Amino acid sequence: MKHYREIDYINVYKKNWHKALIVIIIVFLIGLGITLVTPFKYSAESSVLIIQKSSFSIDAYSATKSEEKIGKKLSQVISSSYFLDKVLSENLSIDRTYFGSDERDRRKVWDKTVDAYVPTGYSKLNFTIYHTDSNQALIISRTVAEVLINEEDDLIGIGDIDLKLLDSPLVSQYPQQPNIALNLAVSLFVGVILSFAYVILTYRPDRDHDKFSQDQEPELVSYNNVPETESVEEEMGDTPDVPELDLDDVEEISEEEQEIEEMNEPELPTDNDSQKTTKKDYPKFEEEDKFIGMG
């Protein structure tokens, strides 16, 4: 039964570690460059408590689920351009040039500025404001909370819902975006994956012969260092031309050689000659001599 050796990819990757290291360094530097080019932003976190006034008539679980749904609805409203206009008109100290004049750009910038979410099982709405200026992040966060509380009837559409400021805005001491540690870790991980793929895809058994341990079975198929692009016909084309021979000339030469060999051979005595030499002459008897001595 024939056994074929499988390629040990881990061993191939180890032997080509210099190639892998180059790919990892390149990807890591690209990730570092993108991180440094991205503007650093501070964060301001705040939360609003959602209270349903008619919750006494239903159980606590149903009331919590209802308030959670209202919070998810408000999180969608906050990220809209309608809410942005409310915030900008509420506080004139907000830098409007930061969001731009084009409506498409304003929506993109606002979507990256505010992040609102509802924790599972809680009746509160958390929102975080990201801005390159920590003071602007604080002002926008306060204004968002004020708009939510003052415009709750228009935003929710339910009269028995009350919103209360639960956590006042808290500004971070250091930039929170981009996350340098996370970006570098992701860049390193992606670099390792891409380096492994690069080494395996560029590996050629006939070019980069991999040395295996003695306990592994040898490979039965040998390429003999012949490139895959070359064929047998091309290899035979490189051999010197052999002169062709005429068959008639070969027959004449063989007949002449045979005649020469016959002339050089010594003559051997035939059977007739041997009989002639061994034959003895006996005296002839007459007819009358045959009866001598008889009587």
List, for residues 42-89, the tens digit of each pLDDT value.
999 999 998 887 656 677 777 788 888 888 889 999 999 999 999 999
For the chain, the structural domain boundaries read 9-36+179-201, 40-171
Confidence of residue 123 (pLDDT cuts 50, 70, 90): confident
Q: What's the CATH superfamily of 40-171? A: EIF_2_alpha (3.30.70.1130)
pLDDT at residue 189 is higher than 80: yes
Most confident of 63-72, 100-109, 185-194, 246-255: 185-194
pLDDT at residue 293 is higher than 60: no
pLDDT: which is higher, 78 or 2 = 78
Mean pLDDT, range 90-114, rounded to an integer: 91
pLDDT for the residue numbered 183 = 94
Q: Which class for 32: exposed (0-12), middle (13-18), buried (19 or more C-beta within 10 A)?
A: middle
pLDDT at residue 242 is higher than 80: no
Mean pLDDT, the chain, rounded, equals: 78
pLDDT at residue 270 is higher than 80: no
pLDDT for the residue numbered 286 = 55
pLDDT: which is higher, 242 or 11 = 11
Confidence of residue 128 (pLDDT cuts 50, 70, 90): very high
pLDDT: which is higher, 205 or 172 = 172
Q: What percent of the chain has pLDDT over 70?
A: 66
